[in-house]
Amino acid sequence: MMLREDALRAIYPRLKDQVVVTIMGAVAVELYNCGHRPNFFYLEHGMGLASSMGLGLALSLEQQVTVLDGDASLLMNLGTLSTMARYSPPNLTHIVFDNESLLSVGGFPSATTTGTDLAGVAREAGVEHVEKADTVEALEEAYAAASDRHGLSVITPRSRPSSRLLCNDIGLLETASSSPATCAA
């Protein structure tokens, strides 16, 4: 299973010209650790809502929009796949990193550990372009195709998080909370 931070590093160059929305916690921190860019929006403390935010942005902008999501987060808002398929914005790519866990809220197993297939759910919801990507190379290829295609895409890479990650809050003004986060190595 690929390391998620390796996957993010691999697609990072393509993200520079896109609006990027990440879900809370580990995915956001790992992307931030690759290097913050002003077109990145870290949706901290809004589990389940990155897909909805990305859909709204894609419907209102011509620019390519990429959502970096997690399996547990998508499961909290599964209806968004039907809504995305209904409106099918041609400029939206939704990447759902599946680590079979609610990592950012304690590491509890998600429903994908017992067989829920998010790529299958997306396909059955009516998303035309759905890819599973279980290696960094497969993700790079699927993401390049999605970025170049005129059509809604969902990519579901199986991944594991960085073992170094112990802090979930990013100290940016747009995500700042009343108490600053401290990260332990």
Distance CA 26, CA 137 (A): 22
Q: Is the pLDDT reported for residue 103 higher than 80?
A: no
CATH superfamily of 2-175: Thiamin diphosphate (ThDP)-binding fold, Pyr/PP domains (3.40.50.970)
Q: Which two tokens stand for residue 122?
A: 């997306």
Torsion of CA 91, 14, 76, 129, to 10 degrees: 50
Question: pLDDT digit string (tens) for 17-54?
Answer: 999 999 988 888 899 999 999 999 998 778 889 999 99
* Contact status, residue 104 vs residue 50, Cβ threshold 8 Å: no
Question: pLDDT digit string (tens) for 42-95?
Answer: 987 788 899 999 999 999 999 999 999 999 899 999 999 999 999 999 999 999
All structural domains of the chain with their residue ranges = 2-175
Among 38-47, 94-103, 143-152, 173-182, the range of highest mean pLDDT = 143-152
- In this prediction, residue 68 carries a pLDDT of 97
- In this prediction, residue 118 carries a pLDDT of 96
Q: 89: closest CA among 148, 153, 152, 150?
A: 152
DSSP state of 161: -
Distance CA 36, CA 75 (A): 27
| DSSP notation for 17-77 | GSEEEE-STHHHHHHHHH---TTEEE-TT-TT-HHHHHHHHHHH-SS-EEEEEEHHHHHHT
